[in-house]
Chain A
C-alpha cells in the first residue's frame, strides 16, 4: 500500500466526500445549486401548474402582456400561446441539449486528450493530427449538414453537437496532461512500474478535474447557445416544440412591441447559465487537489 498512487488519494479520505465538505461551505455555489435544482424541477413539473397547453393558440389573446388575471403569467406570444408553459417546455429541451451534449463531449474529450497528452510521442502526433483535421472542418458547416441529413431527429443533433465540441476539451486536457506528465508524483508512479492506463485514469484524469469542470461549465451554456444559433438559422427544434434559444430568437425580433417575449425566456436562460457558472466555480475550488493536502 505504499505505491505512489496513494500520495494523491490516501485511503479513507474519498475525493468526493472531501469535495462535498468544501462545497457546502461555499454559499454562492450552494445557492446556485439549489436554484438550478428548483428550476429543473419547475421545468419538469411546472407545465402542469398552468391551465394552458404549450401548443394551444388563442386568437383573442395575441401578444398579450403578462397578467395574473388572465392566467398568462408570462404573457402570450404572437399566436396567443401561453409563454409560461412554453418557457418551461423550452427549458426541458435546452437543459436536455446542454446535459447530453456536454456529457458526450466530456467523455470523448477527456479520454482522448489525456491519452494523447500523457502517452505523447508518435501516438500523440497521430491523435492530434486527427483533431487538427476535424478542427479544420468548419463546425457550423458540419452542424448545418447534419441538420439537413438528420433534420427529423433532435436526439441525433444533441450527440452531433457533443461529438463536435469534444475537440476543445481534448486539446485543453492534452495540454494539461503534458504538463502534468512531468510532475514528480507522476514520474514517481512511472518509476514505480504503474501501468500507463492506470496512471492516466488514476493520476492524470483526477488532477485535470479543475480544468475540466471549469471547461464543462463553459460547455453547457455553449451548447445551449449552439442550439439557439441553430434556432436563429431556423434549424432548431420543430414547432410547436420549442427551446429557450427559439423563444429568445422570437423575442429578440419583437424587442420593442412585446418585450416580455424576450424578457422571460432570456431571464431563465441567463439564470441557468449563471448558476452553472457558480456551481462550476464552487466545484473547482472543492476539487482542487492542493486544497486537500492541508
Chain B
C-alpha cells in the first residue's frame, strides 16, 4: 500500500512540471534553427554594460553598430552606409542607412546613436567597459563625472548624419565602433522599462535578431527581426545560445546532436576530437596572448633581468604548445600576436635551438647567483582552471629540469586571483592572458604602460611609456606602427613578462552549418550563417 502512494507521488511530481516550462526546445537538426554553445551565462544584455565574450556574441545578433564586420572579420559599413574622415584625423562623419529599422519597425536615427554613446559614458549607467571610449573627445571627463554627457564629442547633425570628434587621431576608431559599448539603444523602450530593459518583451534592437526568450543558466532564444534592413538575406529563423560552462558537457551535447556550434573544447579530448570529428574541427588564430608575468616590485625578480631571461629561455614552447596546449597555439617569443599593419617583434634567442637556449639560460641563472646548492625557490600563481594548471605544472617541471628551480604552485579562484595579482605584494610569477578588444597592436601595447591599472608586473620604463605616448598621437600608420614595434623591442629586452603562446579559437561546427568563416576576432554573426536542409 505504502509503495503505491510513493509511486503515485513520483508520477504526480513528474507529470506536473512548473507551469512556466512552456519553452520549447528545437528538435535535433530541426530546420532553420541554429544551436550554439556560448560558454558562461551572460551577465547582461544591456550593450552598454556588457563586458564578456558570451554577452558580445549575443549582442552582435541583437544590435548593429555604425561599423559592421564581414564574415572574415574585415570591417564593412554597418548601420552607417559610409563615413568620411577630416584631414587631421580628428573628425569622423557617418552617413546612416535611410532604411535602418528597430525591431519594432521605427526608423533608426543618428539621434539614437548619439543617445547610445552618451548613455554609455554616463557614469549613472555604471558601465564597466566605457573606458574603451576614451579616444572620443571629452569621454574621459564625462566618465569621471567632470562634464555632462552633452559635452561628449558626438553630435547628430540630422537624422542621418552623425559626427564623432576625437582627442587625437585614432586609427582604430572604425574597429572600436563594432564594440557593443557603441551600439545605439531605443530611447522610448529604455525610458519605459528603465534599468532592466534588456529582457524579452522590452528589449528593442536594430540587429538581425530580436530577443524572445531568456532562461537564466539555460539559454537565450533569438528570432529573426522582420524589420532588419537586410532581413531578405538573413537565412536562419531562430538561434539558441546555450549557457554551458563545462566544455566536456558541451562536447557531449554536440555529439548528441543538441548543438551545431561549440564555444569551447576540452583540452584533454583534443586528440580524440581530431581523430573522430576532425572534419568538423575549426581552429584559427585568435587575437590573444598567453603569458606569465614576473612581479618586478619585489625580490627575487626586482632588478633581476638575467634571472627573468633565464626563466623565459628555459621553457620549451614547442612542447608547451604542441603537447600541453595542443590545439595549434602559436609559440610566442614576443608580446603582440599577429595583427594587421604591425610586425611582431622577437628577441634574438627566438631563433636558437632549445638546447642553445637552455645552455644560455643556465649561464644566466648562475650569473644571477643561483646554483644547485642555492636554487631559486619561486611560487607560480594561476587561477583555477584545467588548462592553466597543466601549463603551470609543465613550466615548473621544465624549470626544474633545466635550471633546478624549486617551484611551488598555487591556484586561486578567479576573484581572489585578480586581487592578489593586482596588489603585487604576494605574487612572484603569475599566469595571465590578454584578448584584444579591437584589432590593433595598441590594445596589447597599452597594457604594459606604467600608468595602466592592469600592469600587474609593475613594469616601469620611461622609454616604453614615451614610445607609446608618441604612438597615441601619431597619425601616419607606418610611423605609428614603428613606435609600437620599438616599444615591444624595449619590452622584450626587459622581459617583465614571459610570453608563452598566442591563442587560437577552437570550435566544432556541424557540416550542416554554412558560412562559418574563421577570423582573428572569432566573431561569427548568425546572419552570415545558413543551414543545409539535410
Whole-angstrom distance between the Cβ of B515 and the nearest chain A Cβ: 31
Indicate if the CB atoms of A239 and B392 lie closer than 8 Å: yes
Which of B162-170, B204-212, B382-390, B462-470 lies on the face that meets chain A?
Answer: B382-390
Residues of A within 8 A of B272 (CB): 256-257
For the residues of A in contact with B, the DSSP-based class is loop
Residue of A nearest to B275 (CB): A257
- CB-contacts of A15-68 with B (<8 A): 55-57, 59, 62-63
Whole-angstrom distance between the Cβ of A237 and the nearest chain B Cβ: 10
Indicate if the CB atoms of B393 and A240 lie closer than 8 Å: yes
Indicate if the CB atoms of A239 and B397 lie closer than 8 Å: no
B319 within 8 Å of A by Cβ? yes
Given the interface pairs A253-B268, A253-B269, A254-B269, the reply to whether A240 lies near B394 with Cβ below 8 Å is no
B323 within 8 Å of A by Cβ? yes
Interface centre among A56, A78, A148, A238 (most CB of B within 10 A): A78
Whole-angstrom distance between the Cβ of A163 and the nearest chain B Cβ: 21
B324 within 8 Å of A by Cβ? yes
B266 within 8 Å of A by Cβ? yes
A152 within 8 Å of B by Cβ? yes
Mark interface residues in A274-292 (1 if CB within 8 Å of B CB, else 0). Answer: 0000000000000000000
A22 vs B194: C-alpha distance in the bound complex, in angstroms? 74
A57 vs B396: C-alpha distance in the bound complex, in angstroms? 10
Mark interface residues in A106-149 (1 if CB within 8 Å of B CB, else 0). Answer: 00000000000000000000000000000000000000000110
A71 within 8 Å of B by Cβ? no
Whole-angstrom distance between the Cβ of B401 and the nearest chain A Cβ: 8
Residues of A within 8 A of B412 (CB): 151
A55 vs B406: C-alpha distance in the bound complex, in angstroms? 12
Mark interface residues in B262-290 (1 if CB within 8 Å of A CB, else 0). Answer: 00001011011000000000000000000
A79 within 8 Å of B by Cβ? yes
Given the interface pairs A79-B393, A148-B416, A253-B268, the reply to whether A235 lies near B410 with Cβ below 8 Å is no
B: number of interface residues (CB 8 Å): 27
Residue of B nearest to A240 (CB): B393
State which of B269, B397, B411, B416 has its C-beta within 8 Å of the C-beta of A79.
Answer: B397
A234 within 8 Å of B by Cβ? yes
Residue of A nearest to B385 (CB): A234
Interface centre among A79, A152, A235 (most CB of B within 10 A): A79
Indicate if the CB atoms of B409 and A240 lie closer than 8 Å: yes
Whole-angstrom distance between the Cβ of B252 and the nearest chain A Cβ: 10
State which of B268, B319, B389, B413 has its C-beta within 8 Å of the C-beta of A59.
Answer: B319
Residues of B within 8 A of A250 (CB): 268
- CB-contacts of B384-426 with A (<8 A): 384-386, 389-390, 392-394, 396-397, 408-413, 416
Residue of A nearest to B248 (CB): A253
Whole-angstrom distance between the Cβ of B322 and the nearest chain A Cβ: 9
Residues of A within 8 A of B324 (CB): 79
A151 vs B417: C-alpha distance in the bound complex, in angstroms? 11
State which of B268, B323, B411 has its C-beta within 8 Å of the C-beta of A254.
Answer: B268
Indicate if the CB atoms of B413 and A234 lie closer than 8 Å: yes
Residues of B within 8 A of A239 (CB): 389, 392-393, 409, 411
The residues of A with any CB-CB pair to B shorter than 8 Å are 55-57, 59, 62-63, 78-79, 147-148, 151-152, 233-235, 238-240, 250, 253-254, 256-257
Other A-B pairs beyond A79-B324, A79-B393, A239-B392, 19, CB < 8 Å: A55-B397, A57-B394, A59-B319, A62-B323, A79-B390, A79-B397, A148-B413, A148-B416, A234-B384, A234-B389, A239-B393, A240-B396, A240-B409, A250-B268, A253-B248, A253-B266, A256-B269, A257-B268, A257-B271
Identify 22 residue pairs between A and B in the complex whose beta-carbon atoms are under 8 Å apart, listed by A's number: A59-B316, A59-B323, A62-B323, A79-B324, A79-B393, A79-B394, A148-B416, A151-B412, A234-B386, A234-B389, A234-B413, A235-B413, A238-B409, A238-B410, A238-B411, A239-B392, A250-B268, A253-B386, A254-B268, A254-B269, A256-B269, A257-B272
Q: Which 7 A-B pairs have the closest CB atoms?
A: A234-B384, A257-B272, A57-B397, A254-B268, A239-B409, A253-B268, A59-B319
